[in-house]
């Protein structure tokens, strides 16, 4: 079974404090992954207070780019350092994780289409490793370099690797309805559109509405859940909000 898991940047960092890892939360997430020991797992993590802050300070987004190498490096370097922290924790827990940096493999066309070749990721996965990708900057035809979000990577990985399950671990226990309760299942965006809110803190890649729309387009069943449900998701159980289009 192939599982694609995203650890939200708001889960593993303090999004209100620039470039600060939430040590306890990251350790708990890594422990859940190590205890589950899934056969085929790909991990993606968000930018949190690392990439989002760096990109926001430089006015970069998914369609607004920069041709200044210093800008591009600043964002990538922030994400690389966060990725290093995630990899270090995974290695300490005995997880055979290896990084895949999107800057080196992905690109956007002038029409904003994302190309993400998966040969290296698929080969690592097939050889028993856990590929770990992250939000990043990528070359963008006509725009220099722009941001690729972890959510975009998740949907491309899920489709390209024929994933069986997709999980987005966020700081909330699921997708909330208008009354603040967790929606158990979403099969179309129209039924929950009014309840979907914007992103919190500094986020250049969109909020819950964008996540739900992207997950509904997948063939695989997806789940949005909080850290407390990560172990259940990795064990193959239902968790948080089920998104199945």
**pLDDT, tens digit (0-9, with 9 covering 90-100), for 8-27:** 999 999 988 999 999 999 99
Class of domain 2-243: alpha beta
pTM for this model (two decimals): 0.92
Residue 211 marked as a ligand binder: yes
For residues 91 and 121, give the distance between their C-alpha atoms in angstroms, rounded to a whole number: 18
* pLDDT (tens digit per residue) in 119-147: 999 999 999 999 999 999 999 999 999 99
> Scanning the structure block, which residue is given the tokens 């899920």?
158
46 is in an annotated binding site: no
Q: Per the annotation, does 160 bind a ligand?
A: no
pLDDT at 178: 81
Q: Whole-angstrom Cα distance, residue 181 to residue 229?
A: 16
**DSSP-assigned states of every residue in 32-92:** HHHHH--SEEEEEE--HHHHHHHHHHTT--SS--B--HHHHHHHHHHHHHHHHHHHHHHHH
10 is in an annotated binding site: yes
DSSP-based three-state secondary structure for 115:
strand
**pLDDT tens digits, one per residue of 182-210:** 999 999 887 777 677 554 444 444 567 77
Of the two residues 199 and 169, the one the predictor is more confident about is: 169
Residue 223 has pLDDT above 80, yes or no: yes
6 appears as a binding residue in the annotation: yes
Mean pLDDT of 168-178: 90
Domain regions of the chain by residue span: 2-243
Find the mean pLDDT for residues 74-93.
97
Q: Is 197 annotated among the ligand-binding residues?
A: no
Q: Does the annotation place 15 within a ligand binding site?
A: no
The pLDDT score that the predictor gives to residue 196 is 72
pLDDT-derived band of residue 109, with 50, 70 and 90 as boundaries? very high
Do the annotations mark residue 135 as ligand-binding?
Answer: no
- Residue 9 labelled as part of a binding site: yes
pLDDT > 70 fraction of the chain, expressed in percent and rounded: 95
Mean pLDDT, the chain, whole residue set: 92
């Amino acid at each position: 079974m192939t599982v694609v898991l995203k650890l939200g940047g708001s889960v593993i960092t303090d999004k209100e404090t620039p470039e600060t890892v939430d040590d306890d939360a990251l350790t708990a997430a890594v422990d859940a992954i190590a205890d589950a020991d899934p056969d085929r797992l790909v991990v993606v993590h968000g930018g949190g207070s690392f990439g989002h802050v760096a990109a926001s300070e430089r006015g970069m987004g998914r369609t607004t780019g920069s041709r200044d190498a210093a800008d591009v490096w600043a964002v990538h370097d922030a994400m690389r350092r966060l990725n290093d922290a995630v990899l270090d924790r995974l290695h300490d827990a005995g997880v055979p994780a290896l990084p895949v940096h999107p800057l080196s493999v992905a690109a956007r066309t002038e029409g904003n289409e994302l190309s993400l070749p998966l040969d290296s990721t698929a080969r690592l996965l097939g050889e028993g490793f856990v590929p770990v990708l992250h939000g990043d900057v990528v070359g963008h035809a006509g725009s220099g370099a722009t941001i690729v979000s972890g959510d975009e990577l998740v949907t491309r990985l899920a489709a390209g690797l024929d994933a069986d399950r997709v999980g987005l671990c966020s700081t909330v226990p699921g997708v909330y309805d208008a009354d603040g309760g967790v929606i158990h299942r979403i099969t179309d965006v129209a039924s929950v559109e009014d309840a979907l809110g914007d992103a919190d803190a500094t986020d250049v890649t969109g909020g819950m509405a964008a996540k739900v729309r992207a997950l509904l387009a997948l063939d695989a069943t997806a789940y949005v859940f909080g850290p407390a449900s990560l172990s259940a998701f990795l064990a193959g159980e239902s968790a948080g909000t089920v998104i199945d289009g």
